[in-house]
Amino acid sequence: TTNGIVDALVIGAGPAGVLVSTLLHRLGHRVQVVEQNHFPRFSIGESLLPQCMAFLAQADMLAAVSRQGYQFKNGAAFAKTGEYEAFDFTDKFSDGPGTTFQVPRAPFDQVLAQEAQRQGVLIRFGQRVESISRDQGISQVQVTDKDGNVDTIAARFVLDASGFGRVLPRLLGLEVPSDFPARKSVMTHIEDGIDDPAYDRHKILITVHPQHADVWFWLIPFSNGRCSVGVVGEVEFFKGYHCDDEQLLRQLIGEAGSLATLLRHARFDTPCRSHTGYAANVSRLFGEGFALLGNAGEFLDPVFSSGVTIAMKSATLAAEALDRQLRGEDVDWQAVYADPLKQGVDTFREFVTAWYDGRLQHVIFSRNKNPEIRRMISAVLAGYAWDESNPYVKEPGRLSTLAELCREHP
Ligand code: FAD
3-state secondary structure of 231: strand
Tell me if 110 CB under 6 Å of ligand 1: no
> Ligand 1: distance of its center to the CA of 15 in Å?
8
Tell me if 295 CB under 6 Å of ligand 1: yes
In the chain, residues under CATH classification 3.30.9.100 are: 183-276
Cβ(275)–Cβ(44) below 8 Å: yes
- 106 has a pLDDT exceeding 50: yes
Tell me if 100 CB under 6 Å of ligand 1: no
Which band of pLDDT confidence, cut at 50, 70 and 90, is reported for residue 332?
very high
Helix (H) or strand (E) holding 162: none
Length of the chain: 410
Tell me if 311 CB under 6 Å of ligand 1: yes
Helix (H) or strand (E) holding 234: strand 226-234
> Ligand 1: distance of its center to the CA of 365 in Å?
30
In the chain, residues under CATH classification 3.50.50.60 are: 5-72+101-177+279-345
pLDDT, one tens digit per residue, over 46-58 is 999 999 999 999 9
Identify which of 334, 290, 332, 297 has the alpha carbon closest to the alpha carbon of residue 313. Answer: 297
> Ligand 1: distance of its center to the CA of 14 in Å?
6
pLDDT, one tens digit per residue, over 7-19 is 999 999 999 999 9
pLDDT, one tens digit per residue, over 117-127 is 999 999 999 99
Tell me if 280 CB under 6 Å of ligand 1: no
- 155 has a pLDDT exceeding 60: yes
Domain 183-276 indexed as CATH 3.30.9.100: yes
Mean pLDDT of the residues in the chain: 96
Mean pLDDT, rounded, for 204-210: 98
Percentage of residues in the chain with pLDDT exceeding 90? Answer: 96
HEC assignment per residue over 46-105: CECCCHHHHHHHHCCCHHHHHCCCCEEECEEEEEECCEEEEEECCCCCCCCCCCEEECCH
Which band of pLDDT confidence, cut at 50, 70 and 90, is reported for residue 362?
very high
> Ligand 1: distance of its center to the CA of 197 in Å?
34
Identify which of 310, 222, 220, 223 has the alpha carbon closest to the alpha carbon of residue 232. Answer: 220
The CATH T-level fold of domain 5-72+101-177+279-345 is FAD/NAD(P)-binding domain (3.50.50)
Tell me if 278 CB under 6 Å of ligand 1: yes
Residue 44's identity, in one-letter code, is I
Tell me if 17 CB under 6 Å of ligand 1: yes
Please tell me the predicted confidence (pLDDT) of residue 160: 98
Q: Which atom of ligand 1 is nearest to the CA of 34?
A: 20
Q: Say which residues have a Cβ less than 8 Å from residue 36's Cβ, sequence separation at least 6.
A: 12, 126, 127, 128, 129, 165
Q: Which atom of ligand 1 is nearest to the CA of 49?
A: 25
Separation between Cα atoms, residue 331 and residue 343, nearest integer Å = 19
Which band of pLDDT confidence, cut at 50, 70 and 90, is reported for residue 163?
very high
- 3 has a pLDDT exceeding 90: no
Separation between Cα atoms, residue 173 and residue 161, nearest integer Å = 16
For the chain, what is the total number of helices (H) and then of strands (E)? 16, 20
Identify which of 391, 394, 384, 313 has the alpha carbon closest to the alpha carbon of residue 50. Answer: 384
> Ligand 1: distance of its center to the CA of 165 in Å?
8
Question: Residue of the nearest CA to atom 6 in ligand 1?
Answer: 12
pLDDT, one tens digit per residue, over 230-285 is 999 999 999 989 899 999 999 999 999 999 999 999 999 999 999 999 999 999 99
Tell me if 308 CB under 6 Å of ligand 1: yes
Question: Residue of the nearest CA to atom 50 in ligand 1?
Answer: 163
Mean pLDDT, rounded, for 312-338: 98
Tell me if 314 CB under 6 Å of ligand 1: no
- 337 has a pLDDT exceeding 70: yes
> Ligand 1: distance of its center to the CA of 403 in Å?
32
Separation between Cα atoms, residue 354 and residue 392, nearest integer Å = 12
Which band of pLDDT confidence, cut at 50, 70 and 90, is reported for residue 2?
very low
Q: What is the ipTM of this complex?
A: 0.99
Separation between Cα atoms, residue 360 and residue 217, nearest integer Å = 16
pLDDT, one tens digit per residue, over 55-100 is 999 999 999 999 999 999 999 999 999 999 999 999 999 999 999 9
Cβ(47)–Cβ(204) below 8 Å: yes
Please tell me the predicted confidence (pLDDT) of residue 1: 34
